[in-house]
Structure 1
């Protein structure tokens, strides 16, 4: 597989799943401390990755759990923030400047701080009360967030499927390698067909909306300098659909949760207009070792693996490195 280090991929994924005992002990300690609200704080892609877990909590729990943009939180504040807040951060490098500032800000307000990263000596890991360390470059953070929020809801008697989910996550490295292998020819064909495409229209909903936003902004825009429009499938019929034309390249991300029908509706309409609609659907993958209810919960991780193959092949056909930037971490702002 193009640019795929299977050994590193397996090891990184397993390292995130292996945090389960630490995460469970931490959640138990937070509840014992009297934590009664949680802020999931990120920046860019790590902010988007918080959305499925805000949504999971909103669907199942009465405890306030909400996502926040780090830079905005520092200047606008949050009425929940205080001594009973658990503030959760993620950062691959542990050096994201907006996150560093947000850690300092919430600690000043009395919050208990938690971070997931791969670098124990990084400013973020050193700045929080509880740093949970996976292998360097481990991505995405969905495994850790599923365990964290899942355990919290279980302890509140709001998620009786947590143990099943946590147990099945042990199967994730094998399942995702199989996903990558199956997706490889699909990714290569998509990239070859879209070598000269310079504009994409992306649609997703429910817990998949976060990945839709992330892939549009962080990969196609930031890493490939391509223009995109991204729209939630539930909001598809309120504005952005007017941009569709017969040659518009539409990418649809589909999961297996209760919002699937909303994305099906958007797909059906898009195919009436555009002749270039590609659907990436987690149902196409076996995901051995995962029950139907847990397949829905890991769908963002599955799509990340599938589209990781697409990204590498776009890099190939466009001769544009995924590491190339004009502005991000190049120019001060």
Structure 2
């Protein structure tokens, strides 16, 4: 079943009890990061439909009281066997919620607790709209359309058709920059990552997954709007900043941060969605696609850094190596 068919079936099954009232987005680590654009979208566009995003263990330990028969719970786990995510899906079904799960593993434990499961594609040669970030966003767009309507629905579908081409061109455009970035920053021990809007989740994800997990480099995400409310005091000539600049309503916050960084910071890497061509997408929905673009582009950056540091992205010290 595709996204439209899944949400149509869920909506029909809940119609007699008032339909879908809440959407809960539940995952861990990188899979949770993939859910942030969908959270941002629903918080921005929904008038009545409620949304919550939870790391899976907290969803289990501090379960929202409203979770119940009118809830749609979307749970994502790449390997499909993350214990916290499996437990979250199991709990959701026990509370009579409808569960839609996403995984890359067709034998995943997660599927056992799914009303609907989406087995997604993965790898650099896949179409980005078949990857979890775009699928989860599409699930939430479709849910909003069917529950209360979404005027930008056709524009969103156009964006889905266009984004892969924008990403392919963007990757070619940054190839040389990634190599230069890796040369300049290979010996750094701390990075600050800034962004806003739907892309703040990817700033967080690049910090905790790409740098801390995959490179064992200290990193912290800072919302561009929060930068001037404390964090900018650490700005100096020695600490590197990475700024992902969005196209859309929150760009003004990224531009303000850039103006300050250009004056007071000595090491700044700017990745600008506008420069990379995302403006080709319809203006009404372009902001929701910024993080889809940034994910693919930042994969190029992290690969270049891993290569020059001789630290493969798959190397782990604790994850999957020891009991935790």
Does the alignment reach a TM-score above 0.5? yes
Q: C-alpha separation between the residues in 1 aligned to 2:232 and 2:155?
A: 39
Q: Secondary structure at the match of 1:67?
A: strand
**Within 5 A, what are the aligned runs for 1:120-269?**
120-136=106-122, 140-269=131-260
Aligned twin of 2:83: 97
Q: Report how far residue 128 of structure 1 moved.
A: 0.9
CA contact (8 A) 2:27 2:76 kept: yes
Residues 12-51 of structure 1: pairs in structure 2 closer than 5 A:
22-32=2-12, 33=14, 34-51=19-36
Structure 2: how far apart are the matches of 1:297 and 1:259?
Answer: 11
> Which of 269, 274, 289 is the matching residue for 1:283?
274
Q: Residue 279 of structure 2 contacts residue 286 of structure 2 at CA under 8 Å; is this kept in 1?
A: no
Q: CA deviation at 1:308?
A: 0.8
CA distance in 2, matches of 1:75, 1:64: 20
CA distance in 2: counterparts of 1:284 and 1:300, whole angstroms: 14
Alignment pair present for 1:329 and 2:314: no
Please give the TM-score of this superposition, normalised by the length of structure 2. Answer: 0.91
CA distance in 1, matches of 2:184, 2:105: 39
Distance apart, 1:288 and its partner CA: 8.6
2:53 is aligned to 67
Backbone CA RMSD of aligned residues: 1.8
Partner SS state of residue 317, structure 2 = coil
Deviations 1:187-206 (A, max 9, x none): 11111111211111111111
Aligned length, in residue pairs: 313
Paired residue secondary structure (2:215): coil
Structure 1 contact 120–131 (Cα < 8 Å) conserved = no
- Determine if the alignment matches structure 1 residue 52 to structure 2 residue 43: no
Contact kept in structure 2, 1:179 and 1:285, CA below 8 Å: yes
CA positional deviation for 1:314: 0.3
Match of 1:9 in 2: none
Counterpart CA distance in 2 for 1:127 and 1:205 is: 34
Matching residue within 297, 309, 313 for 1:306? 297
Q: TM-score, normalised by structure 1?
A: 0.89
CA displacement at 1:287 relative to structure 2: 4.6
Return closer, same or farther for 1:221/1:328 CA change in 2, 3 Å cut-off. same
For the residue of structure 1 that corresponds to 2:216, the secondary structure is: coil
SS in 2 for 1:132: strand
Cα distance, 1:288–1:237 mapped onto 2, change above 3 Å: closer
Could you report, residue by residue, the CA deviation over 1:54-104 in whole angstroms, capped at 9, with x for unpaired residues? 221111112101111100111111122111111101122212221011111
